[in-house]
Amino acid sequence: MNLNRVLTLNEFIIERQSEFPYAKGELSRLLSHIGIASKIVHREVNKAGLVDILGEIGEMNVQGEIQKKLDVFADEQFISALMASGECCGIASEENQDIITFDGELAKDGKYIVTMDPLDGSSNIDVNVSIGTIFAIYRRLSPIGHKAKLEDFLQEGTKQVAAGYIIYGSSTMMVYTTGRGVNGFTLDPSIGEFCLSHYNIQTPQNGSIYSINEGNYIKFPEGVKRYLKYCQENDEETNRPFSSRYIGSLVADFHRNLLKGGIFLYPSTATYPKGKLRLLYECNPISYLAEQAGGKATDGRGRRILDIKPDSLHQRVPFYVGSRQMVERAEDLIIQYEKEINGK
């Protein structure tokens, strides 16, 4: 008889709770609710290809309900799940201009706030390519019993108490950290449960994949161009040339590089002088996961992403994340180039 039983996400969360003696289960409940919402989004993502035969987005469906765009649907699912958890007093979402605060008696007492990108890689929905959800959880700074305030959301990434993503790929997975390593759970659709499949993920210190939108080459800073040339050079010892892999969904690109080793770059470009990716919804949670798995995340100029004090909700930042040695090499070349042109 095989006594090796699968461990579900909820069992794992409860087991881990004992590692936080001060916690009374609030964070566990919050994570469980995120897990539930993601299963509903998973169900809709899986039906996305049927939209053309079941009706266009914006049209009435058979129940007489207006069909929503998937990113709006995901946004609403996560907001209602977090509100229902009673542990969260507000949300900042990439889909909404301002913070959303919960006024209900229960939710006002919530100790946590959440920042999220409800659907990451949305341009990939229509072509059946992996997309994701990214979230980060912080303790609120404003007093319990009152509405959440903007300052609750403008905290450094180092203040995250948990962060993770859901990838809706060939399998749906939830990967998260509470600051004690990174664990991954694969959804078994036949039982509707996330099951522990990737225990204590450690990312390779070095790799041979680089991920960047190379179509923007002409718009990159010269130091980045120099690094790309380095990636493409022939050198057996360092396994170069590296492979170029770019999906265009941060979650999917990061997930692959996390498991295989690699670097993801979204530098500043002529179009996005501050980079394209959002500090609160994308870069902070991904950086926390990267560091917890032994990797590194910076702005490409020696500044750790998690140390940046945000000054606005939708702030963008250049993003370099992945295997430690690869991120360090990229930064060395970029900084060295800048010194050279400045004549130092």
Give residues in contact with ligand AHG (CB under 6 A). 94, 117, 120-122, 213, 248-250, 276
Measured from the CB atom, the residue of 107 and 313 that comes closer to ligand AHG is: 313
- Asked if 253 contacts 211 with a C-beta cutoff of 8 angstroms, the reply is yes
- Asked if 306 contacts 297 with a C-beta cutoff of 8 angstroms, the reply is yes
Beta-bridge partners for 196: 185
Q: CB of residue 7 vs Mn ion: minimum separation in angstroms?
A: 30
Measured from the CB atom, the residue of 76 and 328 that comes closer to Mn ion is: 76
Identify what 325 binds: Mn ion, ligand AHG, none; CB under 5 to 8 Å per kind.
none
Mark the segment that binds Mn ion (CB under 5 A) among 105-113, 118-126, 200-208, 299-307: 118-126
120 binds Mn ion (CB under 5 A): yes
Three-state secondary-structure class, residue 137 = strand
Binding mask 79-108 for Mn ion (x = CB under 5 A): ---------------x--------------
103/118 Cα distance (integer angstroms): 22
Measured from the CB atom, the residue of 48 and 195 that comes closer to Mn ion is: 48
Q: CB of residue 261 vs ligand AHG: minimum separation in angstroms?
A: 18
Identify what 249 binds: ligand AHG, Mn ion, none; CB under 5 to 8 Å per kind.
ligand AHG
Q: CB of residue 42 vs Mn ion: minimum separation in angstroms?
A: 16
Q: CB of residue 47 vs Mn ion: minimum separation in angstroms?
A: 19
Identify what 299 binds: ligand AHG, Mn ion, none; CB under 5 to 8 Å per kind.
none
Binds Mn ion (CB under 5 A): choice among 117, 193, 253, 331:
117
CA-CA-CA-CA torsion sign (98, 99, 102, 108): negative
CA 209 → CA 21, 90, 108, 257, 341, distances in Å? 40, 38, 45, 7, 28
Q: CB of residue 169 vs ligand AHG: minimum separation in angstroms?
A: 13
135/32 Cα distance (integer angstroms): 13
CA-CA-CA-CA torsion sign (18, 196, 202, 118): negative
- Asked if 282 contacts 134 with a C-beta cutoff of 8 angstroms, the reply is yes
Closest of 248, 296, 259 to residue 173, by C-alpha? 259
- Binding residues for Mn ion, rule: CB under 5 A, are 94, 117, 119-120
